[in-house]
Amino acid sequence: MLFVLMIACWVLLLMYSILLWVYKYQWNKIPFFSTNKINATTFISVIIPARNEAANIENLLLSILAQTYSRNSFEVVIIDDFSTDETASIVKKYTYDNIRLLSLSDYVSETTINSFKKKAIEIGVMESKGSLLVTTDADCVANENWLANIASYYETYKPAMIVMPVLISPSKSFIELFQSIDFMCMQGITGAAIYSKMHGMCNGANLAYTKQVFMEVGGFSGIDNIASGDDMLLLQKIATDPNNKILYLKSKEVIIQTAPVNTIKDFFRQRIRWASKAEKYQDKSLLPVLALVYFLNVMLLLSFLTIIIIGTPFYWKVLSIALMGKTVIELIYLFPVADFFNKRDTLWIFPLLQPFHICYTVIAGFLGKFGSYQWKSRSVK
């Protein structure tokens, strides 16, 4: 049995290595974009769903108000999702003509829907004035040239959707450093996948699409019973029409910084929520990739547990080489991505995170399929 497990590990590791090489190659091919339309005029509506974000919403608003893009060319639409803290009160302090606060409670009852975030975005879109919609989360902070670059990119290429980079800004705690590196790895895959049209990935913390294409695909209709997935499930709806151009904007000027979760418990809740979307994907090309990553980690964990019980020094050596190989391959892939995010100095801790990464992947993947989770103080199945 142990021999079979080790063979499976090495076969999956080889396939995984090839996959990461492809992602690295495609990431490096994505051209950098710099603003070439100083006088871009596209009117942008920034849509921000917010639930109990009193600790974060002000930092986001200040970063948006500091944009170099003309205030006459964008609006900010915040949709308060039944907050029980001071979120709404904080937003109301900003009495600018281009900042509007909507309350989800004015449109729906809290007991009648399952996907609150999708409903909040949908209402924001319906109430928005812009032809180009940009979504972000209330715990994010934007670069001052964020909207100017988005508008310029849109006017240059006219895509239906623009996928953009997101960075988790960690402190020195273990779980926050782990999130930063793990999320950075996913961001590189996102860019490579979009650029190569291998499959669709994105993050709603930094996403833009036209109001026209949102209406044409029926918004979140058909996926509004799923609590999560306001980003990737929408992308996949838009991608069903080959005429809808979906591009990745590779620019440090548009990197959105988002806060990490603070505890291991909250981290697992977040990743279980992300994993729960997988079986709902219309784009099935992503599923073999997720399966490869999941079963590689399952085989490594099973091999480790089996070696503890019946192993020999030979098998310990074989497993150790496999783990070192996996770590080296991932680091080679990560170096150019970390350079883009100016986070190469954080990679020193990456080898030490490998055991936790393997365990969390197995646990979150399993519970994402068979368990439930909490999101914004709501229990979701």
* Distance in angstroms (rounded) separating the CA atoms of residues 220 and 214: 8
**What is the pairing mode between strands 161-163 and 246-248?**
parallel
pLDDT of 283 higher than 80: no
Residue from 45, 51, 61 nearest 227 by CA = 51
pLDDT of 381 higher than 70: no
* Distance in angstroms (rounded) separating the CA atoms of residues 147 and 79: 20
Burial of 107 per CB tally in 10 Å (0-12, 13-18, 19+): middle
* Distance in angstroms (rounded) separating the CA atoms of residues 326 and 241: 37
pLDDT reported for residue 314: 87
Under 8 Å CB-to-CB from 3, ≥6 apart: which residues? none
pLDDT reported for residue 38: 67
Could you tell me the two tokens for 325? Answer: 């190989």
Residue with tokens 């769903």: 49
pLDDT of 373 higher than 70: no
Identify whether the C-beta of residue 319 lies closer than 8 Å to the C-beta of residue 355. no
Q: What is the mean pLDDT of residues 241-263?
A: 93
The pLDDT tens digits of the residues spanning 83-93 come to 999 999 999 99
Q: What is the mean pLDDT of residues 212-224?
A: 92
The pLDDT tens digits of the residues spanning 308-336 come to 888 788 888 999 999 999 999 999 999 99
Helix or strand run (H / E) with residue 20: helix 2-29
Q: What is the mean pLDDT of residues 132-157?
A: 96
The pLDDT tens digits of the residues spanning 152-169 come to 999 999 999 999 999 998
**Range with the lowest mean pLDDT among 123-137, 149-163, 274-288?**
274-288
Region of 82 (left: φ > 0; alpha: ψ -120 to 50; beta: rest) is: left
Q: What is the mean pLDDT of residues 41-47?
A: 96
**Range with the lowest mean pLDDT among 110-114, 351-355, 370-374?**
370-374
Q: What is the mean pLDDT of residues 4-8?
A: 89
* Distance in angstroms (rounded) separating the CA atoms of residues 296 and 38: 48
The pLDDT tens digits of the residues spanning 73-128 come to 999 999 999 999 999 999 999 999 999 999 999 999 877 777 889 999 999 999 99
> Could you give the 3-state DSSP secondary structure of residue 193?
helix
What's 347's DSSP letter? G
Helix or strand run (H / E) with residue 186: helix 174-196
Superfamily of domain 32-262: Spore Coat Polysaccharide Biosynthesis Protein SpsA; Chain A (3.90.550.10)
Q: What is the mean pLDDT of residues 366-374?
A: 68
Give the burial string for 64-90 (b: 16+ CB within 10 Å, else e).
Answer: beebebeeebbbbbbbbbbbeeebbeb
* Distance in angstroms (rounded) separating the CA atoms of residues 58 and 65: 10
Alpha carbon 301 to its chain's center:
26
The pLDDT tens digits of the residues spanning 166-207 come to 999 866 788 888 999 999 999 999 999 999 998 888 999 999
Write the secondary structure of 93-157 as one string of H (helix), E (strand) and C (coil): CCCCCCEEEEEHHHCCCCCCCCCHHHHHHHHHHHHCCCCEEEECCCCEECCCCHHHHHHHHHHHH
Taking only Cα atoms into account, the Rg of the chain, rounded to an integer number of angstroms, comes to 21
> Domain limits of the chain?
2-27+285-372, 32-262
> Could you give the 3-state DSSP secondary structure of residue 208?
strand
pLDDT of 266 higher than 80: yes
pLDDT reported for residue 34: 84
Report the greatest alpha carbon distance in the chain: 71
**What is the pairing mode between strands 140-141 and 256-258?**
antiparallel
